[in-house]
Amino acid sequence: MVVAHNPAERESAALLMEALSELVASEDYAARVVEADRAGRMALDNVAALQQLGVVGLPASTRFGVDGPTLKLSVAVMEMLGRHDASTAVAINMNWAGVRTLRRFPSFPRRDEALTAVTEGRGAICGAFSNPSTELDSRKARLSCRLEGEHVVLDGRAGFGSMSDAATHAVLGGMVEASDPADPLFVLTLGRIGETGLIKHDNWSAMGMRGTGSNDIECRGLRIPMEECLIAPVSEFRRSRTADSAATAFGIAAIWVGLSEAALDFTLEHVQRRYGSMAEGTFNASTTQFRADEAWAQTGIGNMDHWLGTGRDLLHGMADRLDAGEDVPTRDLVRTLFHLRRMSEEVSMGAMKVCGAHGYVTARKLERIFRDLVGGVVMAWKTDHLQQTLGLGALGRPIVFTGPAGS
């Protein structure tokens, strides 16, 4: 059940989920997912269809009150998107993070322009604040900013600009050169994709999550009028709210749940058709039953079912608590993320072990699901670090909860 604040919002949420379910289950949508993954490009037609439904601009939607949609609804959307195409889901979730961030800031022209475009279904937001994908030195992942007359001039290159293939705007920011080192000026603005001085490099190439459009974004003498920027001492920029960090983090966790659901669905169908145990043919058969009848396969499926069921319940329960306005302890937030991180590890490896070599071929979608799940393992949080954080919290030491891009 999708929770909303009042009957009208609940009806809007139900209609959205019904339309989304129909779209992602369509043959055309599925075919474009496969094509995009093989080409290493974003499924742009699918993104356009999701824009028309209002999914891309969901955090700014007025259909769900002044605070936007519930976390429960956002999680449900991401879970469904992740079940059918994790790449597009990740790109939209990072776009959502940009939308939520911009909504918290005061009005300035490029902010308002970008939010209007996203809300009206004709725009999307990306942001690149990490290392370029082939650069290992994080000290180089930043923009330089200088003030020249009435303009801000930006230079530099950053990576992992998810959604950039379909984006109309890129969030940009950096410290102003030669400003007070004790409290330097910070510039926040947006570049228009395609304008002079803003370069999208089309260089994303990954083992999994191939269709996220996570390209490098470069500023090369990008000049933006100061009036189209937000410029203030860094001390005046508020740290991300826990609610926003949780929404982005649990959006990604919902994608893991959707992927895990897809992996389990495939595994259940596969083992009930896969006759025989090993790779031998009819001249050397060692069993005369389907894999679903093998005790070891049943045990593996049971483990997958346990992790998926408990992970889904924990995530949905956390969304309910946050929507209710509960002051959720940081340890509970971290514990939820840790459990879901472990869930994706167990389910991905479980599917591979149970399905075997006939599941690990490109003709079947488990190969893409597995790559995307492993892509989640390398992304952002590390399982061991989350576990250590829980230990520190149990010891009474201070811990923080951060989104995938840190705090």
3-state secondary structure of 176: strand
Burial letters 15-49, b for 16+ CB under 10 A, else e: ebeeebeebbeeeebeebbeebbeeebbbeebbeb
Residues 131, 134, 135: CA angle, nearest 5 degrees: 45
Residues 79, 83, 87: CA angle, nearest 5 degrees: 95
3-state secondary structure of 194: coil
Taking only the tens of pLDDT, the chain with its 407 residues reads 445 568 888 899 999 999 999 999 999 999 999 999 999 999 999 999 999 999 999 999 988 877 889 999 999 999 999 999 999 999 999 999 999 999 999 999 999 999 999 999 999 999 988 888 888 888 777 789 999 999 999 999 999 999 999 999 999 999 999 899 999 999 999 999 999 999 999 999 999 999 999 999 999 999 999 999 999 999 988 766 677 888 999 999 999 999 999 999 999 999 999 987 665 565 555 666 899 999 999 999 999 999 999 999 999 999 999 999 999 999 999 999 999 999 999 999 999 999 998 888 988 999 999 999 988 777 778 899 999 999 999 999 999 988 775 54
Find all residues with CB under 8 Å of 229, minimum gap 6, and list them. 108, 110, 152, 187, 188, 189
Residue 248 identity (one-letter amino acid): T
Question: Are 238 and 104 within 8 A, CB to CB?
Answer: yes
pTM above 0.85, yes or no: yes
Q: How far is CA 323 from the centre of its chain?
A: 20
For residue 171, give the nearest of 139, 235, 138, 123 by alpha carbon: 123
Q: In the numeric block, which tokens belong to residue 112?
A: 């308002």
Angstrom distance (rounded) from CA 271 to CA 292:
5
Residue 355 identity (one-letter amino acid): C
3-state secondary structure of 384: helix
What stretch of H or E contains 232? strand 230-233
